[in-house]
Amino acid sequence: MPPQPDLPDPAHHDVDSMLSRKFGREVANYFSGSPLNRVSFLRADHGFISKALVHPSTSFLLFNDLAPLAKDATKLAYATHNDIRSLIGENPFEKEEAEMIKEYNSSITLPLVLFLGLDERNKEGFEHGIYSGCPLFAVDVTPKGTLEKEATGVIEAMKAKGLQFVEGRMHMTLNAPEAAIYAQARALLDWNARNPFCGGCGQPTLSVNAGTKRVCPPTDFASLPTAQGGATSVEAKPRERAACATRKGISNLSFPRTDPTVIMAVVSHDAKRVLLGRQRRWPPHWYSTLAGFCEPAESVEEAVRREVWEESGVLLGRVVIHSTQPWPYPANLMIGAIGQALPDGEKIHLEHDPELEDAKWVEMDEIREALRIGTSGLGDAPGEEYKEGGLRLPPQTAIANQLLQAVTGGFMGESPKI
């Protein structure tokens, strides 16, 4: 099994408070704990964003088809403004958003540049009013459209420096602070890539607000035979586009989405066993906690009870939220919960939802042993002490692991901790 990264420290974990004394230490999961101050209210501040991009202390995290630039599997690599000038130009934020919208031309590929935040661990960098730190941006260098040649040049230049774009669906070996930075960048880049066309009218959209909003411009200099693009010429004057509901008021079609997902450790009514399930595609003996998406107009607690019943047939009573984990594949928020079965609701039957191949109740001691020697990612081997046939569980970078650590480590004791 590859070495597992440390988890992030909870915020202000060394500060005593009534809440921490009553409910215990806050749990911080992998992909959280970013060292960046997002200063989200400054993304639309033209003076701030245009100066931050060209400041000498600014760094750029590059992605090629969502694969991040890295030194190795544990550490990201960063580019300078000079490294990417050929792709993004001197300053893609030089013009204000109103001017960019007015000059919109859908036949021209614009570089996608996201502002991630200020790294306040170094106060000697950029300053803007009362805010200081080293700005960090993410840039999509995937070769596409009219920027294909420039993007390819940047990619080859980075590889010539001995750096690599680390491919793979999940990057679970990055050190904790950079894992959080990567998660933010990947989720936003993926959202932008998935939404080149307006959800309201189907016409091409423009990325604004430093990469955290997409607008449907009212005019376009490109001549479009169809609403979905395919420009064959450029007009001397901008063409009026079809009306769109997103241009009136605030529209949730214009902003990044986050999909809430519940994941839960379910304990038996006597608190001596835990419900685990497995899917057909998982390695032999590999189990995890149950999980599923929240539905519209459904509370977290209701979603936990519904998903557990649909997948396993088990009926739950009390549900308590434990912790949460950002999950950038593509844009989920894993809401970790602990639920307890009703006295007469522990019978397992899988007739409702065919998602699980198997579900079973497992004794606490067996889970404790598996947490010690049998954890791994889906594609990795377990620890050296693992014996074939034993229970296998997710690694500590997964919130499922933290939920199981909680229920086997005293969460169900006389002093509940959430």
- What pLDDT does residue 224 have? 62
Q: Choose among 171, 371, 194: nearest CA to 288.
A: 371
Sign, Cα dihedral of 24, 29, 32, 34 = positive
- What pLDDT does residue 383 have? 87
Report whether pLDDT(25) > 80. Answer: yes
- What pLDDT does residue 236 have? 79
- Least confident residue range of 52-61, 164-173, 275-284: 164-173
90-103 mean pLDDT = 96
pLDDT digits (tens, 9 = 90+) for 171-188: 889 999 999 999 999 999
Cis peptide bond N-terminal to 330, omega within 30: yes
- The residue that leads in pLDDT, 379 or 337, is 337
- What pLDDT does residue 141 have? 98
Report whether pLDDT(199) > 50. Answer: yes
Cβ neighbours of 80 (radius 10 Å): 11
Q: How many Cα atoms occupy the beta-carbon half-sphere of 408 within 13 Å?
A: 20
Q: pLDDT grade, residue 250 (50/70/90)?
A: confident
pLDDT digits (tens, 9 = 90+) for 65-89: 999 999 999 999 999 999 999 999 9
pLDDT digits (tens, 9 = 90+) for 47-66: 999 999 999 999 999 999 99
User: Radius of gyration over alpha carbons of the chain, in Å?
Assistant: 24
Mean pLDDT across the chain: 93
Burial of 19 (0-12, 13-18, 19+ CB in 10 A): exposed
pTM: 0.93
CA distances from 380 to 3, 4, 173, 338, 367 (A): 11, 11, 12, 27, 19
Q: Secondary structure of the chain in the HEC alphabet? A: CCCCCCCCCCCCCCCCCHHHHHHCCCCCCCCCCCCEECCHHHCCCHHHHHHHHCCCCCEEEEEECCEEEEEECCEECCECHHHHHHHHCCCCCCCCHHHHHHCCCCCCCCCCEEEEEEECCCCCCEEECCEEEEEEEEEECCCCHHHHHHHHHHHHHHHHCCCEECCCCCCCCCCHHHHHHHHHHHHHHHHHHHCCECCCCCCECEEEHHHCEEECCCEEEEECCECCECCCEEEEEEEECCCCHHHCCCCHHHCCCCEEEEEEEEECCCCCEEEEEECCCCCCCECECEEEECCCCCCHHHHHHHHHHHHHCCCEEEEEEEEEEEECCCCEEEEEEEEEECCCCCCCCCCCCCCCCEEEEEEHHHHHHHHHHCECCCCCCCCCCCCCCCCEECCCCCHHHHHHHHHHCCCCCCCCCC
pLDDT digits (tens, 9 = 90+) for 320-357: 999 999 999 999 999 999 999 999 999 999 999 999 99
119-145 mean pLDDT = 95
Task: Go through 351-367 and write b for each residue having 16 or more CB atoms within 10 A of its CB, e for each that does not.
Answer: eeeebbeebebbebebb
